Structure formats: C-alpha cells, structure tokens
Structure 1
Amino acid sequence: MNATHRKPTQYESLLAGIVAGGVEGAVTYPAEFVKTRAQFTANKGQAVGVIPIFRETLRERGIKGLYSGAGALIVGNSLKAGVRFLTYDSVKTVFADSNGKMTPGRTMLAGLAAGVVEAIVAVTPSETVKTKMIQDATSARLYHNMVDGTIGICRAEGFKGIYRGLWPTIMKQGANSAVRFSSYAFIQSQLVHLTRPPSGKLSSAMTFGAGAGAGLITVYATMPLDNIKTRMQATGAELRYNNSADCFLKIVRQEGVLRLWGGTTPRLARLMFSGGIIFAVYERLINVMTVF
C-alpha cells in the first residue's frame, strides 16, 4: 500500500531546506570558487579559462584552496535554502486553488517572493563575505575564516559592508527562484505525466534530473545579474561603480556584452548539480517527515 502524505508544516519546510542547502553548498563549492575567480580575472576583456584557474589553485594551495570562503557560503546556503522553501511553501498555500494546484504564473510569483526574502535574510551577507574571501585568497590574505572575514569587513566598511550589492542580489535571487521553481514545476509535471509513477511522486533520480534541468535554465536566464552582483560585492566596488546600472554599463562598454555571461561554465556545473541535489534532498526529507 502506498504511503499518504500531509502538507509539510512551516518548521518542516525550514528544517528540510536548511539540511538540503548545507549538503548542496558543501558538495558544489569548488565550482562556485572557480566561477567567482573567473568573474574577477580578465585578460583583454576575456575571462581566464576555468581549467587554468582550477589547476593554478590546486598547484598553489591544494584542495583546501578550492574551499576558500566555503564556510560563509555553506552557512549562508543552509539559511538561504531554509528561508527559500519556507517562504515558497507559505506563499504556495495562499496561491494554490482548492485542489492544491498552482498555475505557472502563480508558481513564478511564489518563487520570486522566496528569492527576495532569501536575498535580504541570508544571501547578501553570506555572498559578500564569500566573494571578498575568494578575492582575498589571491592577494593579501587579510581574512582567515568566515568569522574573521565578517568582523574585518564590518570594521573596515561598517555593518553596511556585508550588505553591499543588496539590490543586484535581490534582483538575482528573485529571478533565480522565479525561474528555478517554475521550470522545476514544469519539468516535474512533464516527467510525472510521462512516467506515471504508482505513488504519483518521482523517484530521487528523476527529482534530481528535474532539478538539474531547472538549474540549467536558471543559469542562462540570470547570469548577467550574477556577474553584476559579484562585481558590486568585490573589495573597492564602491570606488569603481556608482550603482548596479553603472556597473552594467561599464562591463558592456569596457569588456563587451558577452562578459555578462563570464563564469557561465562553472556556474552551470554548480547550479545543475545544486538544483538536482537540493530538490532531491528536500523532497526526500519532506516525504519522510510528512508520511502518515
């Protein structure tokens, strides 16, 4: 007999999201490190290749070097995913019809709301610390860990220093979540229609595939926002750019429009895996916690 499931409580959505985010962050961080380095490093307007950055980091600092700034991202990723799923599931209960169904438009709006909330609560501070620590790893080594980095940034720039790049982060995370949740819901529904699983739920492998597909779509749709966000959070950004629009225009004028997609390859690798991991872990945990 197939098990039946109730709707997850807010506590369960938060807990499952925190665990899923932590697992995803720890597994995929090296790709995030290489992506961020690729966004910083330019040679005549072109990013240095992913493989050279990867090899250089391994040669000079070993595996540990690929995890520079990892603490900030893993902690932030856990909080981010918890807030994201809590917000999404909460908004979904308001938007869903009497049968619990969501239209594509409402799914996108719920994802947008989740992205905005996670950007304010978790993503901006953790991404700022992570970005500065990755940049610092190639220069003066001012910061040694997440706590040291956070304290150092606050001393140098004030509390607002860890919230630098808030608006581009809100735009990026809002777009990320809107695209990711809506594309995941579409792919998931198509897979359920094609495979018709007896329980009505996809296997972990199929859920991973749906999440990976959603990650691929998300990368190409939102990469320019990710590049602007990274530049705005870099050390000295306040001296180079007046605001996000100024940053966008300077990248296009000085480096070409394709530079907005700089770092796509490592981000693609990370978000495809992260999308697969986070949805698979989240769905499995929710299934365990909500079974009758």
Structure 2
Amino acid sequence: MASLKLQNIDPQQRKLSKLAQDVIAGTFGGWAQVLVGQPLDTIKVRMQTQRYPLKYRGATDCFRQLLRQEGLRGLYRGVAPPLAGIGFCNAIMFMSNGYFRRLLQKDKGQPPSILEIGLAGSMAGAVMSFVNCPIELLKVKLQTQDPQGVMNVHGKLEPPFKGVVDCGIRSIRTQGLIGIYRGMGMTLFRDVPGTFAYFVCYESLKRLFKSMRTDGQLKTADLLMAGGFSGIAAWLPSYPQDFIKSCYQNESRFMSYRQVFKEILKMRGPKAFFNGIAPAMMRAFPANAATFLAYEMAMKAMS
C-alpha cells in the first residue's frame, strides 16, 4: 500500500521534495563552514581592509594582535551575520544549483556533464549574490570596526556598532535601503566565476576518487579532499574581486569601484589585490571540506 502511494506522487511534488532536501542540506553545510572558517575569514578581511600605514605585517601578526587585544572573541567578531546568513546563502546556492543542473541536463538518464555542472554552478552563484551581498556588508563592517568607534559618511566618529541589527539599521539610515546592497556588482563579478570553479572542481574530484575505488564508493576522506580543494579552486578566479568588494564595502566615503581600485593601486601597489590570500586559502580547505561533508551527510540522512 505504501509503495502504491509513492508511485502515485506527482513528479512535480518529487521535484519540490528534492529542492527541500537541497535547502536543508545546504543550511547544515553553511553552518559547518562558518564555525570552521570564521577566524581565518576575520583575519582575511582585516588584512584586506587595513589602511596605510599598514597595521599588520602579515597574517600571523594579525592573528597575534587580535588574540592579544581581543582574545578568541575577536576572531569570531561578526559571526552572527554569517551564522544566520551563510546557512541561508548555502541553502539558496545548493537549491539553485540543483534546480539549474536538472534544467540544463540534456540526458536525464546520465550524470550531468562537467560543463553543465559548471554552468549550473555559475547561475546558482548569481542567485546567491543577492543574498550574499547584504550579509557580507554587515560582516565586513563588524569585523573591521575600531573599538573606539566607526567613521560615518560625513567623516564623524560614531559609537561602535552594538551588533548586527544596530549595524543594519545605521547603514540603512545613512545610505538608504540600497545601502545594504553596496558592493552588489563586485559580488556578482566574484561569485559567478567562483561558483563555476567550485562545483566543477568538486564534482570532477568526486568522479576521480570514485574511479580509484575498487567498490566504486566514496569515503569520508574523499569528500573532505574534494570539498577542500573546491574551496581553493573557487578563490583562484575571484580573489581580486573579493578584495575590491571588501574595501568598497568598508569605505565610509562615497566612492566608485574605479576610485577604490585606483586608490588601492596608488597607495599599496598591484600586490595589494592579493593581500590576505594566505588566510583565505588556509580557510578555504577546512571550511569547504566541512561544508560538503555536512551537505553530503545531510542528503544521505534524508534519502
């Protein structure tokens, strides 16, 4: 009787069920990513947004200063927006990726091609950018604020943000509702190629590791390796865009991308666009290994 009921389920309902699984598994993956990667992300953003003269000599010096001045709490400063938001962002990304992958797949009886996987990933990245941008804006502001206060758009020092809600309200009050989407163009320019590389690398490595197993079954170590390297692959075509985005979002003055770019180039030179890449890469492997492992485990539990 139960099998008969399953057979009578409308195909559209099954598709919605698959989308729901992508949302739940993606949320778990996002939470795992934040908990593992937030300290190194804080260091990356601090390295990116420091002003001249430079405060930190390198990632290690940044870590030591933060730990000495603010303790472990300083490394997790600004964790509330990504913990609440990255889970949602990942849910959107994995749901969109699953939807676009099924939409683009020509041969439904065979696994999608690598090109189909990449195109679906880049389309999912474009969708995710609309959620990512305001979350990252608040995260950057909270991660980089000085304990003595923050500079407003009029050049006046204001009290530090009390938290994510206060940061959001004050950002909207000074720049309008569109203010929380400051950096949207560069977020898109970063996420589209980044997610293309992200999913292509992950699926390619999964297929490679599977072909190397005599039983054809992936192990936990395989998923961790594939997820970790996919995180590194995502940064390769997108890190300079992320650097410009962070500086642009942290800038209290009204400036264009071009002005921010020229100021960085003039003050810090071309190498500056890769400033903070070491902690970004160090974070990418464990954070994304945790993301995909949590995602795969959640999907397996729901299957």
Same fold per superposition (TM over 0.5): yes
Quickly say closer, same or farther: Cα 1:247–1:235, change in 2 above 3 A.
Answer: closer
Aligned residue number for residue 279 of structure 1:
292
CA gap of 1:43–1:245, structure 2 versus 1, over 3 A, is closer
SS in 2 for 1:144: coil
What residue number does 2:194 align with?
176
Aligned to 1:3: none
**2:243 aligned with 1:231:** no
Partner of 1:101: 111
Question: Which of 64, 89, 92 is 1:83 aligned to?
Answer: 92
Of the structure 1 ranges 209-218 and 37-46, higher mean CA displacement relative to structure 2 is found in: 37-46
Alignment gaps of 5+ in structure 2:
1-13, 150-158
SS, match of residue 281 in structure 1: helix
Shift of 1:62: 0.9
Residues 109 and 178 in structure 1, CA contact (< 8 A), matched pair in contact too: yes
Q: Calculate the aligned-residue CA RMSD, in Å.
A: 2.0
**Do the aligned partners of residues 20 and 237 (structure 1) sit closer, same or farther apart at CA in structure 2, a change above 3 Å counting?**
farther
Q: Residue in 2 aligned with 1:22?
A: 31
- The 1:132–1:92 alpha-carbon spacing in structure 2 relative to 1, beyond 3 Å, is same
What is the aligned length?
279
What residue number does 2:267 align with?
254
Aligned to 2:219: 203
Q: Does 1:218 align with 2:227?
A: no
Aligned-pair CA distance for 1:100: 3.8
Letter in 2 for 1:285: A
Question: Match for residue 67 of structure 2?
Answer: 58
Distance 2:49 2:59 in 1: 12
Preserved CA contact (<8 Å) 2:56 2:62? no
Matches within 5 A, 1:50-199: 50-96=59-105, 97-120=107-130, 122-140=131-149, 142-196=160-214, 198=215
Residue 192 of structure 1: CA displacement? Answer: 1.0
Q: Quick check: 1:133–1:143 contact (8 Å CA) kept in 2?
A: yes
Matches of 1:246 and 1:155 in 2, distance apart?
24
Task: Report the Cα offset of residue 251 of structure 1.
Answer: 2.5
Structure 1 residues 43 and 231 mapped into 2: Cα distance closer, same or farther (>3 Å)?
A: closer
Cα deviation, residue 43, structure 1:
5.2
TM-score with structure 1 length normalisation?
0.89
Amino acid at match of 1:224: P
Residues 168 and 237 (structure 1 numbering): CA distance in 2 closer, same or farther, change over 3 Å? farther
Structure 1: which 5+ residue stretches go unaligned?
1-5
Q: 1:138 to 1:227 in 2, by over 3 A?
A: farther
- Measure, in 1, the Cα distance between the counterparts of 2:270 and 2:56: 13
Larger Rg: 2
Q: Contact 1:172–1:226 at 8 Å: present in 2 too?
A: yes
| Residues 204, 284 of structure 1: 8 Å contact kept | no
Shift of 1:44: 5.8
Percent of residue pairs bearing the same amino acid type: 24
CA–CA distance in 2 between the matches of 1:285 and 1:201?
A: 17
Look up the match of 2:11. Answer: none
Partner of 1:9: 18
Note the C-alpha offset of 1:224: 0.4
2:279 is the counterpart of 1:288? no
